Amino acid sequence: MKITKFLLATLVCITFGSAQAQVRVETTTTSLPDWGVAGNDNATYYYIPDIESYYDVRTRNYVYMDNGKWAKTPTLPPAYRDFDLYNGYKVVLTDDKEPFADYDNMKVKYAKGFKGDPQKTYKVKKNRKGETKIKEK
């Protein structure tokens, strides 16, 4: 009887021990780029006036006019590869609809060189354990 209780207790410990080992803790991180505007976690797009382009936060693509058509690429347009996204002004857009239909108004309202309220950008760092830390710059 003692052996049965011992085996049962061992089996329970192994079962719960392995179940606990399979529990995974994930940290919530932002989907915003590390140059994104701090304090605006609900951004869906950024309009970047100086390069007359958008950044789609969900797909992580830049959206810009290329020969009369909207192009979506994971990198900046070739003409703006050297643009400093950390220091360039970003207009935060939180609407779920694609903002391209309003591009002509956007270009007028937020012309090249537009500077609104001061912005802080995210600084994303990963520590040795792979955990993401978000700091503001």
Task: Give pLDDT, residue 118.
Answer: 85
Positive or negative: CA dihedral 15, 21, 25, 26:
negative
Q: How many residues does the chain have?
A: 137
* Predicted confidence (pLDDT) per residue in 63-92, tens digit: 999 999 999 999 998 889 999 998 899 999
Beta strands in the chain (DSSP E): 45-48, 53-56, 61-66, 69-73, 91-93, 122-126, 132-136
Look at strands 53-56 and 61-66 and give their pairing.
antiparallel
Tokens of 25: 């803790």
| Contact yes or no for 98/44 (Cβ under 8 A) | no
Can you tell me the distance from the alpha carbon of 101 to that of 120, in angstroms, rounded to the nearest whole number?
28
pLDDT band for position 30 (cuts 50, 70, 90): very low
Task: Give pLDDT, residue 33.
Answer: 87
Selected residue with higher pLDDT from 13 and 102? 102
Task: Give pLDDT, residue 21.
Answer: 46
Q: In what order do the strands lie in the sheet with 69-73?
A: 69-73, 61-66, 53-56, 45-48, 91-93
| Contact yes or no for 110/91 (Cβ under 8 A) | yes
Closest CA to 47 of 8, 105, 3: 105
| Contact yes or no for 41/120 (Cβ under 8 A) | no
